[in-house]
Structure 1
Amino acid sequence: MMSNKLLALLSALITFTLVFGGYTFLFANNKSQKLVSPLPESGILIKKSTNLKSISEVQISIAVEDALIGTKGIYGVVIKDLKTGETFTQNENRIFEAASLYKLWIMAETVKRLEEESLKHEQVLSGDIKDLNERFDIATEAAELQEGTVSMTVKEALDEMISISHNYAALLLSAKIRLSNVSKFLKNEGFTASKLGEPPVTNALETAQFLEKIYQKNLVSQKASEQMMNLLKKQEKNNKIPKYLPENVTIAHKTGEIGAFSHDAGIVFLEDRDYLIVILSESNDPRGAEERIAKISKNLYSVFNSE
């Protein structure tokens, strides 16, 4: 009898162990699955290089997210280590009004025409301000100038359109080269999200790709790319990406501001590690967004300069 009871007890114990053990195994598996998180809702993505020493994901994430704490705005971000190819993105495909970033496209088509010699640097461009406002559908209340004429050479227009974001320099060049040709240029280069129109639009990804083509000297041509890079290095609107960086750091960039939109896009040149930084923003506090862009840039400089 004792042996039968003992056998029954052992059988019950084995059954309990198998059932409970199975439950524990399943529970443990489910728990571990919950710890494997998908991409964050912010859309952050890191693509890592295994060839060279990489900036860590945590460092870049903190550099960006620290500056965006508490924001109610929307930011499209692309950060790329131009030495390793490592890329950080956030909302990179989100469409924003381009603001003055469209002047990058005007610059490229103009430089292309100069290389083809259908334009000359010393060629004089002139226009009646009222006619330019009407031609490019600039509302009276939005127009910087209402009457008179504006005149400058192609070289002057290029310089001022980029360095101080001179709107009438851009209008003179646009009238000369025709916006339809700029649209063709964008299409031919594969920029399908960047479009002229009312208003011009783009995203952080294509803006970054545009600048990287210039950096790699393969937008239009090597010579044209070098000319465009030199123009971008003359930028005088330095209240965002360059704001907290040392004065001796070379930065080639272009800003854009209109209404709720504030952008800056450029390349920071360090001794051993250049990096690309593009930040587009839409916010009910564009001045605050400017400061956030400047802080992201400051944080990133600390990360890249420490390597």
Structure 2
Amino acid sequence: MRKQFFLTALFSFLIGVIAGLIFLFLTKPNAPTVPASQSQLKNVVDGALVGSKGTYGLVVTNLKTGETYSVNPDRRFNSASLYKLWVMATAYDQIAKGNLDKDEVLSRDVAALNSNFNIATDEAELAEGTITMTVGEALNQMIAISHNYAALLLSERVGLKNITAFLTDHGLRQSQLGEPPQTTAADTARFFVKLYRGELANQTYTDEMVVVLKAQTFNDKIPRGLPDEVPVAHKTGEVDYFSHDGGIVFGRKSDYVIVVLSESDFPPGAEERIATISQAVYEYFE
């Protein structure tokens, strides 16, 4: 009787142990896995960054497949001229609402603009004279040749409050006007994704913004390592130790957003690095 009781108890104990092990096995969290394609993109980007000096914020997103990879996406940088993207989009928003016309003539005394935007005399590109251009001309020059006074004219006309509202309305919460304006690779990529999807304006003005961005004349970063026939709608930014480029690449097989922000002691080296990253990403997607 005792032997039978002992065997029954032992059997019950073993069943409990086995059940516990099965439970632990089934509920053990799986190790995180990285999709094969994302891992490949990571290898491509990380390989292009090997040996780089300084700090980089980077986002790459394939607009057709959703494949994405980022490095320091939320790291804040001085935006340099990337803030002009916000001014452009806000201006088109005001045009769509009937509050602004592309044929409207903007004219302002240079000294007044410098004063209104707190530009010190020793830092101002211009100290005197008058800047006059239409809204349409200001939009084109602000992007294509990064004309700073065209940007100031438009910023004053559309209003800084409206630019800030644009950032908030479109979820660009890591970007802000100020001295200096700041942004992140994540926010800049978000801007271009929204532009591509037509979420910043109606189709007509979306197409116009893309055309304006394709007319960019500073092409020694993202476009540099690409075939000449590949269209790139992008905006660069340079100031002090910062060198940036971000935009949409319209490849033969894929459209993708690439944004690279950098801070380094040698910006020309960062420009070379951005071109290297761009070429590597293009060859991977194409």
Is the contact between residue 55 and residue 303 of structure 1 (CA under 8 Å) also seen in structure 2? no
Is the contact between residue 128 and residue 147 of structure 1 (CA under 8 Å) also seen in structure 2? yes
1:73-110 Cα distance to aligned partner (Å, 9 max, x none): 11011001111101101100111111000000000110
In 2: Cα distance, 1:55 partner to 1:169 partner = 42
1:22 matched residue in structure 2 = none
1:28 matched residue in structure 2 = none
In 2: Cα distance, 1:271 partner to 1:228 partner = 21
Does 2:201 correspond to 1:220? yes
Does 2:134 correspond to 1:159? no
1:192 matched residue in structure 2 = 173
In 2: Cα distance, 1:176 partner to 1:56 partner = 43
1:267 matched residue in structure 2 = 248
- The residue type paired with residue 39 of structure 2 is E
1:8 matched residue in structure 2 = none
1:73 matched residue in structure 2 = 54
Identical-residue share of aligned pairs (%): 50
Question: What's the CA shift for 1:268?
Answer: 0.7
Structure 1 gaps, min length 5: 1-35, 40-45, 49-53
Does 2:89 correspond to 1:108? yes
Report 1:12-91 matches (<5 A). 48=35, 55=37, 57-58=39-40, 60-91=41-72
In 2: Cα distance, 1:296 partner to 1:237 partner = 17
Does 2:76 correspond to 1:95? yes
- The residue type paired with residue 244 of structure 1 is G
- The residue type paired with residue 265 of structure 1 is G
2:185 matched residue in structure 1 = 204
Is the contact between residue 38 and residue 67 of structure 2 (CA under 8 Å) also seen in structure 1? no
- Give the 3-state SS of the residue equivalent to 1:243 in structure 2: helix
Question: What's the CA shift for 1:115?
Answer: 1.1
2:105 matched residue in structure 1 = 124
In 2: Cα distance, 1:122 partner to 1:211 partner = 26
1:296 matched residue in structure 2 = 277
- Give the 3-state SS of the residue equivalent to 2:225 in structure 1: coil
1:217-270 Cα distance to aligned partner (Å, 9 max, x none): 111323222221111111111010001211100110000111111100011101
In 2: Cα distance, 1:275 partner to 1:187 partner = 24
Question: What's the CA shift for 1:118?
Answer: 1.3
Is the contact between residue 101 and residue 254 of structure 1 (CA under 8 Å) also seen in structure 2? yes
- The residue type paired with residue 205 of structure 1 is A
Is the contact between residue 221 and residue 245 of structure 2 (CA under 8 Å) also seen in structure 1? yes
- The residue type paired with residue 185 of structure 1 is F
Structure 2 gaps, min length 5: 1-30
TM-score, reference length from structure 1: 0.80
In 1: Cα distance, 2:134 partner to 2:96 partner = 16
Between the two proteins, the alignment pairs up a number of residues equal to 256
1:7-49 Cα distance to aligned partner (Å, 9 max, x none): xxxxxxxxxxxxxxxxxxxxxxxxxxxxx7x99xxxxxx6x5x
- The residue type paired with residue 131 of structure 1 is A
TM-score, reference length from structure 2: 0.86
Does 2:262 correspond to 1:278? no
Question: What's the CA shift for 1:56?
Answer: 5.1
Is the contact between residue 124 and residue 153 of structure 1 (CA under 8 Å) also seen in structure 2? yes
Report 1:244-255 matches (<5 A). 244-255=225-236
- Give the 3-state SS of the residue equivalent to 1:142 in structure 2: coil
- Give the 3-state SS of the residue equivalent to 1:146 in structure 2: coil
In 1: Cα distance, 2:188 partner to 2:228 partner = 25
In 2: Cα distance, 1:273 partner to 1:204 partner = 21
- The residue type paired with residue 113 of structure 2 is L
